Amino acid sequence: MNDIKIYSITAVGLLAVMYALFFMGLLSPVPALGFILGTSGVLLGWVSLKLTFVWNSLNQEQKMRMSVLNELRWFFITGSIFLFVDLIPHVFLVIFYPVESTITIAHWMAHTILFVNTVLGARVAVSLFNPQYKNVVASFVAFIGITALGASIVYPDHLINIPGSQYPLLSSNYVYAWFNQIANISSLGFAGIYLIIQGLRSPSHIAKVRASLLGVGAIFFVAVGYFVHFVHTWYVPLAIYTSFIGYALFMGIGALYAAGKKEEMIVPNPAGTNL
């Protein structure tokens, strides 16, 4: 429980620092986005390290019974990697090498990692309640993600200028932005709703808390995509960071709660599935 308290205080504290720096005029949109991606990557990395420690402490029989814990661990690992890689097109290239073709390639590579992450997220959601369907769901989400990546090749990114920003902002083509948002909704969006519904229906208090936290965090991630792709105003970094912190905070707490209750990571329910 101490891990959860420290993590929560850190996440909320980072959000407060971001707001303070922004309203004091010390962060323009592009550096603010760098702050967002970097600190969110650290938060997800923090959780992945905790989950890795817990996973490595299990014996082989426990690992077989609690394989979903490993899937959750890899979800946070890939999520952290994506955020750090996404710094390259959104921040470093925009500032130091603002060439649209190069930025598009770097952004495409980052989103390849993102869609691997969303596939893992969908697998985790289904594995917690109906693991027999996880491969089917993962295949569907992967297909949507590959389609979105294909759209990004046909419709490359471009740079836009907004009042008050020293650097241009990376903006995805409108067609690709919709493909990306559909991919987000069909993966973590549906996964979040599914987790919340199944969690609230579960007779297990542990499963209820764990699933609800992970579900709310997943929905926050969908909001990130909306603000990144469809809103380009001076205040959008605040909306993006609030959504990112909501995503990292709730999913992180849910994962840390699961790690702390690892002996309950798989609980048979009356229907014979796994919670």
pLDDT tens for 195-208 read 999 999 988 888 88
Cα–Cα distance between 208 and 220 in angstroms, integer?
Answer: 19
Cα–Cα distance between 128 and 267 in angstroms, integer?
Answer: 9
pTM of the model: 0.90
Residue 124, C-beta contacts closer than 8 angstroms, at least 6 positions apart: 68, 71, 72, 75, 191, 214
User: Residue 269 corresponds to which amino acid?
Assistant: N
Say yes or no to pLDDT of 14 above 50. Answer: yes
Cβ 213 vs Cβ 249: under 8 Å: no
Q: Average pLDDT of 143-165?
A: 86
Cα–Cα distances in angstroms (integers) from residue 63 to residues 52, 53, 70, 73, 214, in the given order: 12, 13, 8, 12, 21
Output 169 or 94, whichever has higher pLDDT: 94
Q: Average pLDDT of 80-106?
A: 94
Return the axis-axis angle of helices 236-260 and 205-230, rounded to nearest 10°. 160
Query: Which CATH architecture group holds 2-264?
Result: Up-down Bundle (1.20)
Residue 197, C-beta contacts closer than 8 angstroms, at least 6 positions apart: none
Kind and range of the H or E element at 173? none
For tokens 């596939």, name the residue.
119
Percent share of the chain, pLDDT over 70: 93
Cβ 50 vs Cβ 254: under 8 Å: no
